[in-house]
Amino acid sequence: MGAIQAALDAQELTDHHCHGVVTADLPREDFEALLTEGGVWPGISPFDSPVGVSVRRHCAPLLDLPRHAPIDDYLARRAELGWREVNRRFLAAGSTDVFCVDTGYTPDRLTTPAELADTVGGSAYEVVRLESVAEAVAAKGVEPAEYAAVFRAAAREAVGRPGVVAVKSVAAYRTGFDLDPARPSADEVTEAARRWLAAGGRLADPVLVRHLLWTAVDLGLPLQLHVGFGDNDIRLHRCDPAHLTDWLHLTAGTIPVLLLHCWPYQRQAAYLAAVFEQVYLDVGLTLHHVGPARAGAVLAEAMEITPYRKLLYSSDAYGLAEFYCLGALAFRRGLTGLLQDRVDADELSLPDALRIARWAGADNARRVYRLPGPS
């Protein structure tokens, strides 16, 4: 085992963007539904996919099964052990000691940040999803003319809770990034709020999405942005992060912006990270979906021009404990392979490689979010 692998294996990761894990035993259809960003379709098992193959390869042994165990064996053993033991084993295998948890999506069925971190004795921080804050404001009832102030107050209150280190937006899902970059006027916001509050539904008005992004700027915390790969609610071409360029110019010197997932726009994200001081990126979610077999290739593209202080680790794990393990595994394997190849080719010194591994694995996140520990 090389020094880089040893270092990355020994290093506890900081997962700067994840969700909770389900606190229930999962029937097969529920497990399969969580395994895929698609659906569960007749005649096509979600296990017959790169991520499904990775689960059978890498997760089965952690349940005392042979590598590549059959699906039925896997699910039977999972049920036998029960969700508490399963979650404990996979989270422990991820060797992650800091979790920044997005609590804005279906929190009811998931662990809280503290519960998640407690499973492995780690530290938990919270990421506030601003669309959820806005939608709670609407649900509670608000006058259109008051919307901006009430939303801002609610967001300020939410980020004032202990342990909150960042906010997040899923603007990518709601409108995409091909938005007017300018801060909307108060009148525009009131008018848009009037339309939205009358029509109901989730926040997807372009004016209100812009207003939300500018509210993030006012809050002053780092902003996580979903970019690229997700379920079929995305219009992929509309969340090419290059569309953010004008907004990044307007907001330069304010808040850090963290581009999440990014695939298949990892090169576009890398470009932004290379030319805007405030931009950072990860390839979370992507890594466990493509699996260890392709994680190195995706990371290599993401790192083609990205400054080494700009790449972060996240699992973006949601629901299945397997993903905390697979995300970490794919990241460690992918980055180890990439760095070791460069050291072997004498393109990179070993001390530099170890530094890059430490930075990406934990220190860059600590620096951006001002977490305790070395940054």
Residues of this chain that bind a second copy (CB under 8 A): 36-39, 41, 43-44, 46, 48-51, 53-54, 56-57, 67-68, 229, 231-232, 234-237, 240, 242-243, 245-246, 248-249, 263-264, 267-268, 271-272, 274-277, 289-294, 297-298, 300, 303-310, 341-342, 345-349, 352, 367
d(CA 54, CA 330): 10
3-state secondary structure of 159: helix
Question: Is residue 25 within 8 Å of residue 18, measured between CB atoms?
Answer: no
**C-beta of 126 vs 322, nearer to a second copy:** 322
**C-beta of 83 vs 276, nearer to a second copy:** 276
For the chain, percent helix, then strand, then coil, each to nearest 5? 55, 10, 35
**C-beta of 114 vs 293, nearer to a second copy:** 293
**C-beta of 152 vs 367, nearer to a second copy:** 367
* Tally of CB atoms within 10 A around 175: 20
Q: What φ, ψ does residue 129 adopt, rounded to 5°?
A: -85, 115
Instruction: Look up tokens 């059978």; give the residue.
Output: 56
**C-beta of 114 vs 217, nearer to a second copy:** 217
d(CA 292, CA 51): 9
* Least spacing, CB of residue 333 vs a second copy, in Å: 9
d(CA 100, CA 80): 30
**C-beta of 94 vs 291, nearer to a second copy:** 291
Strands 164-169 and 96-102: unpaired
Determine whether 168 is exposed, middle or buried from the number of CB atoms within 10 Å of its CB (0-12, 13-18, 19+): buried
* Least spacing, CB of residue 19 vs a second copy, in Å: 18
* Least spacing, CB of residue 348 vs a second copy, in Å: 6
**C-beta of 206 vs 307, nearer to a second copy:** 307
**C-beta of 236 vs 255, nearer to a second copy:** 236
Q: Sign of torsion, CA 281 331 37 325? A: negative
* Least spacing, CB of residue 36 vs a second copy, in Å: 7
d(CA 352, CA 371): 23
- Helix ranges, 141-203 (H): 144-159, 171-174, 186-199
Structure tokens that stand for 109 in this block: 């069925």
Where are the strands (E) in 186-314, listed by range?
Answer: 223-227, 257-261, 279-281
**C-beta of 85 vs 344, nearer to a second copy:** 344
* Least spacing, CB of residue 347 vs a second copy, in Å: 5
* Least spacing, CB of residue 53 vs a second copy, in Å: 6
Strands 279-281 and 96-102: unpaired
Question: Is residue 374 within 8 Å of residue 363, measured between CB atoms?
Answer: yes
Structure tokens that stand for 38 in this block: 């698609």
* Least spacing, CB of residue 213 vs a second copy, in Å: 18
